A and B are shown apart, each in its own frame.
Chain A
Amino acid sequence: HRRKPSLIQSIKKI
């Protein structure tokens, strides 16, 4: 099954 990341906000560290 494909999974969805929750995390995106934290990466957006960039």
Chain B
Amino acid sequence: MVLMAENTDIKKQHDRIFEEEFLPQIDALYTFAYHLTYNEDDANDLVQETYLKAYRFIDSYHEGTNAKAWLFRILKNAFINQYRKKSKQPTKVDYEEIINYHDEEDSQYSSYLDLREEMFQGMMGDEVTTAINALPVDFRVVILLCDIEGFTYEEIAKIIDIPIGTVRSRLHRARNMLKERLKTYAQSLGYKDKRK
């Protein structure tokens, strides 16, 4: 009897944390999920999986701390697992190889890009959107977390589990890759191509 009452209290407490701290993050989580998958069904699945996992492990969440960063970390891990299953390829990318290869042979650079790029060519007229979509996922993630969600470098480091220095260099490279892919726009702003 006492145990049942205790369980009811715990359930109430968990539900309150869920309602007050987790649920308000759903718009940001959905935006992030959508820009990772570019598919509404996949984004729905990811967000749902994130919330169910968060609830299952709610005891490891410290009430009143950074719920948004905690949920984003769960979503990112769920995405990586899903992405690995789908692509049957490791998600780790050799960044040095990308940059060096790109510098050597521009036309073959696309072979290193996210395989889903093909899907967008011809589907979206907006070259900027296409360029963002075509960023390798690890680079797209830091752009989304920093520029769209406003996380600090330290928070991003915790969410994607990499050193803060790597966050800094990944952001720098991600933005350079975007500029590279948006030369026409960049040149209209007065940028000079410094890489040739």
A binds B: yes
Q: Is the CB of B48 within 8 A of A2?
A: no
- A-B contacts at CB below 8 angstroms, number: 39
Q: Interface size for chain A: under 10, 10 to 19, 20 to 34, or 35 or more residues?
A: 10 to 19
Main secondary structure of the interface of B (DSSP, over half): helix
Which residues of chain B have C-beta atoms less than 8 A from A11's C-beta?
26, 47-48, 51-52
Q: Interface size for chain B: under 10, 10 to 19, 20 to 34, or 35 or more residues?
A: 10 to 19
26 pairs from A and B in contact (CB 8 Å cutoff): A2-B27, A2-B31, A3-B31, A3-B35, A4-B27, A4-B30, A5-B27, A5-B29, A5-B47, A7-B30, A7-B48, A8-B26, A10-B48, A11-B26, A11-B47, A11-B48, A11-B52, A12-B23, A13-B48, A13-B51, A13-B52, A14-B15, A14-B18, A14-B51, A14-B52, A14-B55
A residues in contact (CB < 8 Å) with B: 2-8, 10-14
